Amino acid sequence: MSFLKDFTKIRCVTYKDDYSINKSSYNDLNISIEKEVVGCNSSVLGSKQTKQGDIVIITANKKSKRYFVIGIIQERLEKCDEWSVRGGNEWKFNFKIKIITPINEINKEFKNSLKKNCELENLNENHLFHSRFCGIRYKNVLINLIKEKIIICNSEIN
């Protein structure tokens, strides 16, 4: 978990069904995992302050459930058509990423642990996955959720 000490920013990207491949944000999430890329039109990710080593949390929905993966920002890509060639959007801001978690479901157990850890840090648990409100102040929450094995990391990362 050495990567946890190094990052200085947390970025959040939420894929939405309306802009996704076959109207399924979960499809876009799978592209991010398969191709190790993340893309969006938001200046939150597009900011020049987004740097290699930043953490990115990517969320998506499938039916009535919500899921996420966590990655580490690598280099900025000038163009990436991984989604548009499959019927999704062509995003304005794109990065190569290193995926550090499998897909995690935001289920009741996760929400309870998130709430407990956010209360310890005086943070709003609803903001961890919000593109405008997530940020480095959630670093200890993420570290604790990983240590508690609420968020599972890929074996080569641990």
| In the chain, domain spans | 3-147
User: Given pLDDT bands bounded at 50, 70 and 90, which one contains residue 77?
Assistant: very high
d(CA 151, CA 75): 25
136 CA to centre of own chain: 13
User: Given pLDDT bands bounded at 50, 70 and 90, which one contains residue 158?
Assistant: very low
- pLDDT over 80 at 17, yes or no: yes
What would the DSSP string read from start to end of 72-104?
EEEEEES---TTGGGTS---SEEEEEEE-S--E
Q: Supply 2's token pair.
A: 């050495």
User: The pTM is what?
Assistant: 0.93
Task: Answer yes or no: are the C-beta atoms of 12 and 19 closer than 8 Å.
Answer: no
Write the pLDDT tens digit of every residue in 88-133: 888 999 999 999 999 999 999 999 999 999 999 999 999 999 988 9
- pLDDT over 70 at 155, yes or no: no
- Amino acid 140 reads N
**Which CATH number describes the domain made up of 3-147?**
3.10.590.10
